[in-house]
Chains A and B, each alone.
Chain A
Amino acid sequence: RVSSDGKPPKFQPPPKPVIIDRKTQKEESRFLSPEFIPPRGRKDPLKYYIERKDMIQRRKVFNIPEFYVGHILAVTTANPLASDKCSRFVGICIQRGGTGLGATFVLRNVIEDQGVEICYELYSPRIQAIEVLKLEKRLDENLMYLRDALPEYSTVDVNMKPVPRMDHEEIPVNKVQVRMKPKPWSKRWERPKYNIKGIKFELPEHKMQAAQKWSQPWLEFDMLREYDTSKIEEKIRKELREELGK
């Protein structure tokens, strides 16, 4: 290069790289626990606001991790009758129900050939710790059909170590197709009302066709049944961010 005075050109340091931390930004706004979203109804929103304040108060003291149906959790509860005064249960979360402070989740495991399901309340003061051992979503939001599936699909090792999470971005979806015990089942899972994608139906073709008789194709077009929660969710997320950030 031609310099102006014959001296070597002044050293220009390269511009500093600007690091935009998109990962932490995305994580905050992505997940909202389903019990925060109020159901559709004619109740006064003040009731839900007060409940949310109590829920936030509990969350400040006790950490409730983000989890979905299909995750493997270990829960320690206080138990006055046990020798350690606490008892630990490991299982797959098959259902998350309820709204507000009464929100529950059901963990299922098979212990010594006996299927065990325990329904815990998220905000109960008896719960001392909730650990997520394995993160994986499933194809459905309700895994009640595991009761009628072969027991190998519900067994979880009690002494399992927490699987380290590879990425802070996506939760993997386990597309396993579960094999069922022979009929009768507790519910007719092949019917379209349950809309289950995670079962490998080994029923004959005419039975699957007969189950489609109960399908209601017009329900998808019934516009008044849709509950659009995007605006409500935004407000609640903002509220949570403000309160928990303090």
Chain B
Amino acid sequence: MRLSVAAAISHGRVYRRFGLSPRSRLDLLRNLVTALVRHERIETPWARADEMRGYAERLIDYAKRGDKDERAMRMADFWLTEKDLIHKLFKVLAPRFQPHAGSYTRLLQIPNRDGLDRAKMAVIELKGNPLPPLVRPRRDSDRTLLNQLLKGYRQDAQRARGT
């Protein structure tokens, strides 16, 4: 009897199970969302970051409605345990993401945790944060064939323009 395959089929359920109960799962994710809003870049196990991403983006969508909205304020009050961050959410993050339609966060995987569990870790950050960038986009080296040919073409064009 192959019980493991049957256990891996979720039958359409998309929410992961964390903590002791559904209430505890929401509390865990709430702490992570508060930390993200406070520090704008956090390092957590990948599964928690992935789960938290959806909630963080929906929270920002609610914040975009403005702080006069009753429902938006109740949501922010529940999701942010540190109440000074409510001000930051409505006054700093909502205007920052107003031009964007969605995808306000970036999720990148990092090497496994050093402890005994070797958990798959990830960094989740809000885009447009003031910290130094995580990924530096690298240009191709100048020594590749294509780049040398392009350089030659550019020099010829310049010489032709000059004379």
Chain A residues in the interface with B (C-beta under 8 A): 41, 216, 218, 221-224, 226
Tell me, in angstroms, the Cα distance from A221 to B33 when the chains sit together. Answer: 14
- Residues in B with CB closer than 8 Å to A218 are 22-23, 26
Q: Identify which of B54-62, B115-123, B134-142 touches chain A.
A: B54-62
Residues of B within 8 Å of A, CB-based: how many? 14
When the two chains form their complex, are residues A41 and B58 in contact, meaning their CB atoms are under 8 A apart? no
Tell me, in angstroms, the Cα distance from A199 to B22 when the chains sit together. Answer: 29
- Interchain nearest-CB distance for B31 vs A (Å): 14
Selected contact of B79 from candidates A216, A221, A224, CB within 8 Å? A221
For B42-86 the 0/1 string (1 means CB < 8 A from A) is: 000000000000110011001000000000001100110000000
Tell me, in angstroms, the Cα distance from A72 to B74 when the chains sit together. Answer: 39
Chain B residues in the interface with A (C-beta under 8 A): 12, 15, 22-23, 26, 54-55, 58-59, 62, 74-75, 78-79
- Residues in A with CB closer than 8 Å to B55 are 223-224
When the two chains form their complex, are residues B23 and A224 in contact, meaning their CB atoms are under 8 A apart? no
- Interchain nearest-CB distance for A130 vs B (Å): 34
When the two chains form their complex, are residues A222 and B26 in contact, meaning their CB atoms are under 8 A apart? yes
Selected contact of A221 from candidates B12, B15, B54, B78, CB within 8 Å? B78
Selected contact of A223 from candidates B12, B22, B23, B62, CB within 8 Å? B62
Closest B-chain residue to A219, C-beta based?
A: B22
When the two chains form their complex, are residues B75 and A221 in contact, meaning their CB atoms are under 8 A apart? yes
Assuming the contacts A41-B12, A218-B26, asked whether A224 and B54 have C-beta atoms less than 8 A apart, the reply is yes
When the two chains form their complex, are residues B75 and A223 in contact, meaning their CB atoms are under 8 A apart? yes
When the two chains form their complex, are residues B75 and A224 in contact, meaning their CB atoms are under 8 A apart? no
- Interchain nearest-CB distance for A131 vs B (Å): 39
Tell me, in angstroms, the Cα distance from A41 to B62 when the chains sit together. Answer: 23
When the two chains form their complex, are residues B26 and A223 in contact, meaning their CB atoms are under 8 A apart? no
Selected contact of A224 from candidates B12, B15, B62, B78, CB within 8 Å? B15
- Interchain nearest-CB distance for B21 vs A (Å): 10
- Residues in A with CB closer than 8 Å to B26 are 218, 221-222
- Residues in B with CB closer than 8 Å to A221 are 26, 74-75, 78-79
When the two chains form their complex, are residues B22 and A224 in contact, meaning their CB atoms are under 8 A apart? no
Known: A41-B12, A218-B23. 9 other contacts (CB 8 A): A216-B23, A221-B74, A221-B75, A221-B78, A221-B79, A223-B55, A224-B15, A224-B55, A224-B58
Assuming the contacts A216-B22, A218-B22, asked whether A223 and B59 have C-beta atoms less than 8 A apart, the reply is yes
Closest A-chain residue to B74, C-beta based?
A: A221
- Interchain nearest-CB distance for B142 vs A (Å): 47
- A to B CB contacts below 8 Å, 16 in the list: A41-B12, A216-B22, A218-B22, A218-B23, A221-B26, A221-B74, A221-B79, A223-B54, A223-B55, A223-B58, A223-B59, A223-B75, A224-B15, A224-B55, A224-B58, A226-B58
Closest A-chain residue to B27, C-beta based?
A: A218
